[in-house]
């Protein structure tokens, strides 16, 4: 018996929520995909779990880094058509898989009521160790736990309903970025300039990187080849998990 072909993601969704650990995570791996969604009329919300206050490369005072990175993420979001950016303010570099984090993500899922959630893979990718930052894996696992079962179960975190009036919500699909088992590629060739604009908004992170466009283009070209797109095309890839 052969395995059934993978189920395709929905053609179009009304609302999508991207949950990532640090400012800039969504832009390196997924800003092109987000640009295609907003262009098609999908309302996209970003939920960034930390302020990225352990990042940077220069003498910027540490207490300035968090506010700066929030501003950079808002600008990067605007470059790809996203105006709703929410920050959870958890500590950068020290994320743990806790019930508090699951509740905080469940709250945003119930507020936004997205049909689609994008997050990072909870699974370590041994061939690309830099993609598997512990905070990324923690956010991926916490988000999947929030999608199933917390956000859909009215008896999970009952205070969300009792105190905040947030009804249970079932997310239809979760897109995992930087996954060793990616099974779906998005052609981002036509929106690549928007992705570069988003990336360059993260001044504290990338202003010292001269070949940013070259190396990000290199990844996307390699991904496009792996998924059999025509030569010269660029792609971002995801493992799509059906969660309804
Ligand atoms: Zn990160």
- The answer to whether position 219 is within a domain reads no
- The answer to whether position 77 is within a domain reads yes
Q: How far is the CA of 93 from the centre of ligand 1 (A)?
A: 9
> Is pLDDT of 1 > 70?
no
Q: How far is the CA of 198 from the centre of ligand 1 (A)?
A: 15
Q: How far is the CA of 154 from the centre of ligand 1 (A)?
A: 31
CATH code of 65's domain: 3.40.50.10320
- The answer to whether position 1 is within a domain reads no
Task: Summarize pLDDT for 172-229 with one digit per residue, the tens.
Answer: 999 999 999 999 999 999 999 999 999 999 999 999 899 999 999 999 999 999 999 9
Ion ligand 1 residue ranges (Cβ < 5 Å): 22, 25
pLDDT of residue 130: 85
Range of the domain at 181: 15-207+238-242
- The answer to whether position 10 is within a domain reads no
- The answer to whether position 231 is within a domain reads no
> Rounded to two decimals, what is the model's pTM?
0.96
Nearest-angstrom CA–CA distance, 170 and 86? 20
Q: How far is the CA of 174 from the centre of ligand 1 (A)?
A: 19
Q: How far is the CA of 55 from the centre of ligand 1 (A)?
A: 9
- The answer to whether position 29 is within a domain reads yes
- The answer to whether position 6 is within a domain reads no
> Is pLDDT of 4 > 90?
no
The overall average pLDDT reported for the chain is 95
- The answer to whether position 212 is within a domain reads no
Q: How far is the CA of 25 from the centre of ligand 1 (A)?
A: 5
Q: How far is the CA of 196 from the centre of ligand 1 (A)?
A: 17
Number of domains in the chain: 1
């Amino acid at each position: 018996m052969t395995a059934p072909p993978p189920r395709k993601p929905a053609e179009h969704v009304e609302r999508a929520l991207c949950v990532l650990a640090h400012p800039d995570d969504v832009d390196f791996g997924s800003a092109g995909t987000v640009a295609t969604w907003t262009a098609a009329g999908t309302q996209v919300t970003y939920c960034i779990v930390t302020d990225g206050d352990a990042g940077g490369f220069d003498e910027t005072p540490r207490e300035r880094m968090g506010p700066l990175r929030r501003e950079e993420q808002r600008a990067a979001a605007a470059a790809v058509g996203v105006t709703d950016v929410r920050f959870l303010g958890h500590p950068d570099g020290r994320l743990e898989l806790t019930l508090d984090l699951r509740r905080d993500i469940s709250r945003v899922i119930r507020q936004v009521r997205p049909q689609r959630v994008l997050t990072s893979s909870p699974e370590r990718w041994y061939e690309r160790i830099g993609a598997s930052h512990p905070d990324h894996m923690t956010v991926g696992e916490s988000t999947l736990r929030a999608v199933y079962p917390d956000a859909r179960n009215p008896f999970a975190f009952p205070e969300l309903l009792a105190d905040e009036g947030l009804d249970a919500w079932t997310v239809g699909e979760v897109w995992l970025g930087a996954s060793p088992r990616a099974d779906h590629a998005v052609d981002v060739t036509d929106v690549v300039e928007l992705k570069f604009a988003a990336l360059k908004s993260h001044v504290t992170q990338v202003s010292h990187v001269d070949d940013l466009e070259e190396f990000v283009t290199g990844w996307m070209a390699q991904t496009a080849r792996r998924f059999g797109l025509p030569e010269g095309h660029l792609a971002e890839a995801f493992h799509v998990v059906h969660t309804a």
